[in-house]
Structures are given as C-alpha cells and as structure tokens.
Chain A
Amino acid sequence: MSHAPQHLEAARYTWGGDEFLFVEISESMSLAANFKANAMAARLAARAIDGVVDICPANASLLVRFDPDTVPPDELESLVREVEEEVAHLSEQTLETRIIEIPVWYDDPYTRETGARFRKGHQRPEGTDLDFAAEENGLSSPQEFIRKHHESPWLVSMVGFVAGLPFMFQIVPHEDQLEVPKYLSPRTDTPPLTVGHGGCFACIYSVRGAGGYQMFGIAAAPIFDPAQKLADFSDFMIFFRPGDIVKFKPIDEDEYTAIQAEVEAGTFTYRQTPVTFDLQKALTDPSAHNRDILEKLNGI
C-alpha cells in the first residue's frame, strides 16, 4: 500500500585489500536490500567454499573475508556473482526466522543518568534523548515516540560493531520510519543493554563502551553472555542473528526487577517462536504482515 517493492540494481563489487570482498547491494537502506544481503550470505555459506573465512551480511551490503592463497580474488568474485544471480531469480522471497520479545524499561533512571552526563554538546542539551527523538519525528510527546517504537516489530538487519550488537530496522512503511540523528560527538560511555537509535536504526548495546546513538531505555536481559549461563545461550554466547524479528515489550520497574532476579537465578528465557518473514508482504501490506507474526508470538 505504502510503496511498491523496490527493484534493486545489480550490486557493486569492490575490494577491501587482498582479504576482503565488499558487495554494496544498495546505497540506501531498505528491507529489500537487507533481504538480499542475508539471502546472499546464507547461500554463500551453504556453498562452504574453501578459503572463505567470514561472511558478514550488513544492512545493505555484504563483506566476505577470504584467504587469497586458497581462493583467488577473481574466482571468489565469480562465485559471489553467481550467488547474486541465484538470489535475483528466487520465486519466493521468504525467510524462516523467529520473533523474539525483548522487554525494555523505557525512560528508566539509569538511561536518564547516562544521558544527563553527556548533555553538553547534545543537539538538545536541556532535555532528554527521548524528548529530542519525539521532536525530530514531529510527535507530541516522548510517550508517543515510545509507543511507536514498541508497537511495530523490527528486523535485525545486521549484527556487529562490537560482539553481538543488533542493528534493527522497523518493519513499517517508509514514511513511518523513526529517524533520529546520532550524537554530534560520540559518548565515551554507554551502559550495556542500552536501547539506542541512530538514523533509521535501533540497536541494543551488547557491551559497555563508546556510542553515538540516542538512548531511550534499557533491555532487562542479556544479549551477550560469554559465560553462557542462560539456556538461550547454551549453543552460542551471542543471542541475535541477522533476520531475527524483535518485538519490544515496555516494562516497568517491578517487571524489570523480576526479570533481573530470573537472570541472576539462571532461569530467564526469552519468549520466542518461529515465523516466516515474507518480503513482498512486508513491503506491500506491513500492517497485515506484522499482525500475523505478532499473533504467533501472542499465541505461545
């Protein structure tokens, strides 16, 4: 309804030195570009090519690390171009994935405190990041911004920057995308599990460190667990995978404390269920697409 499925031009291939092939799928962010990046990454991985070291799908691009002593650059490029062709001719643009509920305490005192420490030089020194985000999006209040933030699900479009950090793109029509500029100068500190936003992307900071995204709240449970104490981390220390769908659930202080206690006791598990992401449906009728996948989550 909002906009027709986008037709992507052929990708641009370029080299990052003698060990990296970079494939720019589109200069601009879109669900279609991200779908293509992930579809290419999955098919490339399935080929199990000798000498391919890392396959890193990103928002609208793909980075492949290779060992040129095993697979020469030209040969690798031909193989990746073959994969691009395959993806272009897919009859069904769907992805078997999962939807996960992520409890977030919005506008919490920890985030407020961190925001207050970095007011100097902020676009809106007198308020909070949420006040700024609401104004930038022409919304009446921070509460209205928070509602739009958790009411529609987000697609994990990239995992990285630091270990396990998800970049998320909201599955809504272009005109409903929440857009907020990054900090003018990056913070030197961000608490782990801060829910951030920069440009059109949401993120959850997985580790403590520098950051430039505006801060809206704090997620209640870990997303990176090197000790692998919780059941959701028994296979791998990093929770998110590209293609995951995230539904934020607003919680209050009591719920936050209760989840923290479960994490401490090692009993916390995320609410999640398998779903199918359908690109055409997400583009042509996002409301219906989102309603269907949210029903699956609510049904468990």
Chain B
Amino acid sequence: MAFDILEPGLATSVQDRGRFGYYNVGIPQGGAMDQLSASMANALVGNTADDAVLECAYLGPRFTTDTDAVIAVTGAPVEVRVNGTPVDEWSRLSLAAGDEVSFGMLSGGTRYYIAVQGGIDVPVVLGSRSTYTLGALGGFQGRALKAGDTVPVGAPSGSGPAMDVIPENLRPVHAKEVTVRILPGLYDHRLTAEGMETLVSAAWKLTPVADRMGLRYSGPDLEWKPRIQPFGAGSDPSNIVDAGYAIGSIQVPGGKEPIVLHRDAVSGGGYAMVATVISADMDVVARSAPGTLTHFEPVTMEQALAARADAAEVRRAVWA
C-alpha cells in the first residue's frame, strides 16, 4: 500500500511526534510543527498519536493511492480535492484505489497534515520517522518528497477512529493576530529594562524568514546592556560563549529581529536567548503565517504549567 507522488508540493515531509534524546549531539526533536493538528488527523483515521503523517507547507502535493485508503486532512484552512471534487477538511475521507488527492490555495496559516490509516510507513531512525532534512536523516530518504516518489503506507494498527469529524470548537484557530506566552529567562538579564519592555509590549510581525528551524519577527530594536565581553563569547553584546539552545527560545542577534527556534532548531550557538515560548504555545507559533502580528506575553512557570495542563485536556478530548 502506497501513495504515488505526482507533484510534491513546496515542502512536504514525513513527520511524527518527534525524535527525542539526541539533542545532545545536535539532532533536533523534529516532528510535526503543529502537533495538535497532526494528532487530530491521526485520531480521525484511527491511528495512534505516534503514527507518521505528511506535513505540507503552503502548496500541497498531488498524489494517487494504489489501494483503498482512509485519510484525513487537518491544519491550515485549505481546499482539499479528491478527483477534482472539493471534500471536507477535519473529517474522515474514504479513497478508492486510483483516487487522486490534490489541494487548492491556503486561506490562512502555513501547514496542514495528511494522515492515512496505518500511518506513513518509512523506517524508524533513532526512534522516529520524522524527517531531519539538514542531516538527511529519517522520513522519506531523509528529504522532502519529490515527484515520482512512492510513499509506503502501513497496515492499520489502531483500535478504530476516535472521531468522525473534529468538532469546530476543538479545531485550532489560524489567526492573523496572536498572543504567544513566553517565560522570560536564560540571558534576559543582559537586556536593558527598556529592551525587555519592548519585547513584551511591541506588536511583532512574522517575516517570510520562517521555517521548521526558526521564525524571525520584525519590529523595534531591543537594547542590550553594554559590557566587556567574556573570553570566547564574541564581540557583540548579544553574543555568548556557544551554549545549548532551548527549543522555543527567543534570540535577538545584534538586538534586531527576534528569532523563535522551532522543532528543527540548531541545538546550540552563540546568541543570547532572552525568553522561551511555553510548550503549550509552540503550536500557535507553528500556525503563524508571515505577516501575523504577534504579542509575546510574559508568564510565570506556574502559568506555563497550567497552560500545559489545559493543552493536555484538549488532547484528551480528541483521544477519549
């Protein structure tokens, strides 16, 4: 059982929950950028939350299935077509052998997910099927899909679909203006008080420099405290002795254009981080399209953990 890729789309890759435990040697967690949407697609087709899906960015693939298949598309709002006829996103779809799936334009957000009953069955590498493109590791031959690829689909293993349709009230929103909660810390003491105030009060606009590694925002400059740089740290006040980067951490090279590191983050480097997006809001960042106005709202660890528990509640509602 397989999908035959006729057109690959802009950057279609195999992703799952991620690859954990190898960040210490520079291999990032990877996995679906918008974890909740990917997990909902799996729920609709009766997979487990661990099954691999196809992640599409902006322009989706065109493919046929060589056998009957059960699929679902979730995530950014996009027109889904089967043999040219529009069908519903956020619901279970049955395909007959030879059916062709294609996509129209996005009307918001950036990424959407295709789950198939049985999951995308590429080999598990270091505990995950996720694609780490930079290291040519995992996924489909370590890369984004190309025309002519035959993507293997596994045998159904789940206990049956959890839901036929994701109810509207559970579907993630793809908004043009978002609030992203951050926990200040790491090297926040290196910013001036005005610099920190600017970070949490400005309306930041997501630039087109946004991919699986990180997302860059435009807005006012942030001021660093001047200092004599420590040995090995580099000459700019935003430089530190190269250190590990938390996923979701925000760095501000040269005081300009903050970068939020995402699932395919480089594991370390020489720029001071001043805050980290809380785990519950990483999906919110993932759903942002260039131009999205973003407000970084500082929270405490207690608030971050409460938000994490709320996010777990939503997952439980889907998988109940």
Contact = CB atoms under 8 A, between A and B. Distances in A.
A53 B304 contact: no
A58 B268 contact: yes
Nearest to A16: B246
Contacts of B240: 27
Interface in B99-148: 125, 132, 134-137, 142
B244 interface: yes
A199 B25 contact: no
Closest 8 CB pairs between A and B?
A16-B246, A29-B232, A63-B244, A17-B276, A28-B230, A160-B26, A20-B246, A160-B267
Interface string A279-300: 0000000000000000000000
A270 interface: no
Contacts of B185: 14-16, 22
Contact of B279 (A19, A22, A167): A19
Nearest to A224: B135
A233 to B, nearest CB: 13
B241 A163 contact: no
A61 interface: yes
B244 A58 contact: yes
Contacts of B304: 17-18
Interface residues of A, number: 55
B233 A28 contact: yes
B242 A58 contact: yes
A162 B26 contact: yes
Interface in B252-269: 266-269
A57 interface: yes
Given A162-B135, A163-B27, A209-B134, A199 B246 contact: no
A172 B27 CA distance: 30
Nearest to A62: B244
Contacts of B125: 226
Interface in B288-320: 301, 304-305, 308, 312
Contact of A59 (B21, B24, B243): B243
A17 B249 contact: yes
Nearest to B248: A17
A30 B132 contact: no
5 contacts: A16-B276, A17-B249, A59-B232, A60-B243, A198-B270
A163 B21 contact: no
A200 B232 contact: yes
Nearest to B239: A199
A57 B268 CA distance: 10
B235 interface: yes
Contacts of B136: 207, 226
Contacts of B246: 16-17, 19-20, 22, 63, 65
A46 to B, nearest CB: 15
Interface in A188-220: 198-201, 206-207, 209
B140 to A, nearest CB: 14
A181 B236 CA distance: 11
B183 A17 contact: yes
A163 B277 CA distance: 24
Given A161-B267, A164-B25, A27 B233 contact: yes
A201 B142 CA distance: 30
A129 interface: no
Contacts of A15: 183, 185-186, 276, 301
